[in-house]
Amino acid sequence: MLKRYSDRGAAMNYAQRFRFGNLAQTYARYREIFHKRLKKQEEGRVERHYGAAARAVEAERARGRRAEARALAAVICANPAREPKKVEQLYAAFKEARESCGETTSQLSRQQFEAFLEQKTAQLRKQKGSCAVEFVVSVEGGKARLKARVTS
Q: Looking at the 3D structure of the chain, how many domains does it have? A: 2
Mark whether 86 and 13 lie in a shared domain.
Answer: no
Residue 7 is assigned to a structural domain of this protein: yes
Asked whether residue 55 is domain-assigned, the answer is: no
d(CA 8, CA 4): 7
Question: Residue 51: inside a domain, yes or no?
Answer: no
37 and 104 fall within a common domain: no
Torsion of CA 9, 13, 17, 18, to 10 degrees: 170
pLDDT at 69: 45
Note whether 95 and 143 are same-domain residues.
yes
Each residue's pLDDT tens digit in the chain (152 positions)? 777 777 777 788 888 889 888 999 999 999 999 999 999 989 988 776 677 777 888 888 777 655 554 667 888 888 888 888 888 988 888 888 888 888 888 888 888 888 888 888 888 888 877 678 888 888 887 788 888 888 76
| pLDDT at res. 26 | 94
- What does the pLDDT read at residue 33? 95
Could you report how far apart the first and last alpha carbons of the chain are, in Å?
Answer: 67
- Give domain status of residue 105, yes or no: yes
Sorted by sequence, the CB contacts under 8 Å of residue 128 that are 6+ apart come out as: 150
Q: Is residue 91 part of a domain?
A: yes
- Based on the domain organization, do 74 and 32 belong to the same domain? no
Domain that holds residue 80: 69-151
